[in-house]
Amino acid sequence: MGSPFLLQPSRSLTEEAMAAAGQSQDDLKRIAALRAVELVRSGMVLGLGTGSTAAHALDRICDLLRGGDLRDIVGIPTSEWAAARAAAANIPLTDLAAHPVVDLSIDGADKVDPALNLVKGRGGSLLREKMVEGASRRFVVIVDDSKLVSRLGGSGLAIPVEVIPFGWALTLRRLQNLFDGTPGFNLKLCTASINTKASAFTEKESEIEPFVTDNKNYIVDLFFEDGIHGDLQAISDDLLRIIGVVEHGMFLGLATSVIVARKDGVVLMDKEAKSNGF
């Protein structure tokens, strides 16, 4: 059986696919980001994603604004990093209070399953990402093909859960109890070097402290040896019912399109294509 991700490339991606041949992984992400930015129109409210892939989209939007091809764009950043990057690129910023409906969000993802469910937020920005992208009329995700998985949680990488610092150890035990009996399940508090809040982690007990999100919360990483089995929405609801849990990194049903950068080009996956059997 073929991979559920091997969809036919969109015709509009043909030139990008040709240009992508022989490019590095970062080049492919940039090409996919440029394709996503083609959806941006003057006057839009944009959700501005976080991370290296989203940075390519931010840079392109800046270029279009500077050249006069886009006008009257305002952005809602999904992290302090995105806010700083957008401000440096002279992209005007706003917030959800002023604009509760976002026209388009463009962001990366840590993992994507065949139903276009995502794992996001391993960098700690999951809460703001989900708030902005959940308020979006259209949410376009940019990834490389290493991010495609058959089941969320099955890659060995963590699914992050944001928790408040107060009583975090009790919240961790409640998370453990929720998955008690699940083979290969493990969890741990995400930690970071005292000297940097970035993703440079260390196992030396004398040099670590809890990783702190932009919202001044902690992250608990959930690990599943064989991925998450069962109803993802029901598991999501169970997680959010735990007192002390703020949000989790499963983004279920939020992505409208996924642009996948591959060595042989870029492939467009979207809900309409899936519903038509592609």
Name residue 28's amino acid: L
pLDDT tens digit sequence for 3-59: 433 333 443 444 454 454 567 777 878 888 999 999 999 999 999 999 888 999 999
pLDDT digits (tens, 9 = 90+) for 86-101: 998 889 999 999 999 9
pLDDT digits (tens, 9 = 90+) for 235-261: 999 999 999 999 999 999 999 999 998
In the chain, what are the domain boundaries? 13-110+119-145+253-264, 159-248
Q: Classify burial at 210, counting beta carbons within 10 Å of its beta carbon; exposed 0-12, middle 13-18, buried 19 or more.
A: middle
Predicted pLDDT of residue 107: 96
Q: Which amino acid, 61? A: I
Instruction: Work out the pLDDT band at 196, boundaries 50, 70, 90.
Output: very low
For the segment 122-143, what is each residue's pLDDT rounded down to a tens digit?
A: 889 999 999 999 999 999 999 9
Q: List, for residues 221-238, the tens digit of each pLDDT value.
A: 999 998 999 999 999 999
Q: Which of 148, 153, 161, 154 is nearest to 116 (CA)?
A: 148
Helices (H), ranges, the chain? 14-20, 25-37, 52-66, 80-88, 126-134, 168-178, 232-240, 271-275
Q: Provide CATH code, domain 13-110+119-145+253-264.
A: 3.40.50.1360
Angstrom distance (rounded) from CA 219 to CA 169: 12
Question: What does the pLDDT read at residue 266?
Answer: 83
Q: What is the mean pLDDT of residues 258-275?
A: 77
Told to judge if 129 belongs to the known catalytic residues of this protein, a careful annotator would answer yes
Output the pLDDT for position 197.
46
Q: What value does the CA radius of gyration of the chain take, rounded to a whole number of Å?
A: 19
Q: Is the pLDDT of residue 154 over 90?
A: no
Residue 59 backbone phi and psi in degrees, to 5: -65, -40
**Roughly how many angstroms between the first and final C-alpha of the chain, as a whole number?**
14
49 within 8 A of 121, measured Cβ to Cβ: no
- Phi–psi pair at 158, nearest 5 degrees: -75, 155
Q: Which residue has the tokens 């976002």?
A: 102
pLDDT > 90 fraction of the chain, expressed in percent and rounded: 68
Is-same-fold flag (13-110+119-145+253-264; 159-248)?
no
Among the four given CATH numbers 3.30.70.260, 3.20.20.70, 3.90.1110.10, 2.60.40.1080, the one describing domain 159-248: 3.30.70.260
Beta pairing, strands 45-48 & 102-108: parallel
Question: Active site residue: 129, 133, 162, 247, which one?
Answer: 129
Beta strands in the chain (DSSP E): 45-48, 74-77, 102-108, 111-112, 118-119, 136-144, 159-163, 185-189, 191-193, 208-210, 218-224, 245-248, 250-251, 257-262, 265-270
Q: What is the pLDDT of residue 25?
A: 73
Give 211 or 25, the one with higher predicted confidence.
Answer: 211
pLDDT for 96-121, tens place per residue?
999 999 999 999 999 999 999 999 99
